[in-house]
Amino acid sequence: MKTVLLLLASNVFMTFAWYGHLKYRSAPLVLAIGVSWFIALGEYCLQVPANRIGYGMFTAYQLKIIQEAITLGVFVVFASVYLGERMRWNYFAAMLCIFAAVTLAFWDRL
């Protein structure tokens, strides 16, 4: 559970680092890059411990799949709340396919 919570927190940082600047497109690109790198430092400070703690309980493949699933969940909230974008049916269907893949990755643990 600690691994998942750390991955969740790191993904919040990562999402803001990668996509937060889109709301401020008039800002200079070099500023967007610098701020993104600064925010990404927080992501790394959570992601690395999450993987260290989780490895052994989960395989590296499972850790990556968990991280990607969390990324999607965080991004859905971010895109709708922060960027004001709407979820479309095809995006939802695509994400369902990814979550089906997550289920397959953990099939032996069900």
Between CA 106 and CA 110 the distance in angstroms is 7
Query: How many residues belong to the chain?
Result: 110
Residue whose entry in the numeric block shows the structure tokens 């052994």: 56
What are the boundaries of each domain within the chain?
A: 2-109
pLDDT of residue 87: 94
pLDDT of residue 108: 84
Q: Which two tokens stand for residue 84?
A: 């004001």
Partners of 55 in the β-ladder: 58
Quick one: average pLDDT of 84-107? Answer: 91
pLDDT in tens, 57-75: 999 999 998 999 999 999 9
- Are 101 and 65 in contact, with CB atoms under 8 Å apart? yes
Helix runs in 21-88, H state only: 29-54, 60-81
